[in-house]
Amino acid sequence: MGKTIVVQQVGSPIRRPEKQRKTLIGLGLNKMHKTRELEDTPSVRGMVNKIPHLVKIIEERG
């Protein structure tokens, strides 16, 4: 595995569009304050950039 990022869910998917909920699930997040270490790829970055109000990048490991 190359570069990775640690992403944490900071917003609730309640009363959000279905597309945003599915993006969270695609990132492996489904509960508040849960963190995931994901590979730093353009597709993962795009998913994070689509829901910046629900997630934050805690750390970038390289």
The dotted CATH code for 4-61 is 3.30.1390.20
Q: At what angle do helices 42-50 and 18-26 cross, to 10 degrees?
A: 140
Report helix, strand or coil for 61: strand
> Which residue is it, tokens 């869910």?
9
> H or E segment at 54?
none
At 30 the pLDDT is 94
Give strand pairing partners of 15. none
53-62 pLDDT, tens digit per residue, is: 999 999 999 8
Report helix, strand or coil for 32: coil
Which residue ranges make up each domain of the chain? 4-61
Average pLDDT score, the chain: 96
At 3 the pLDDT is 95
pTM of the entire predicted model: 0.91
* Mean pLDDT within 13-42: 97
Tokens of 46: 């795009």
At 1 the pLDDT is 64
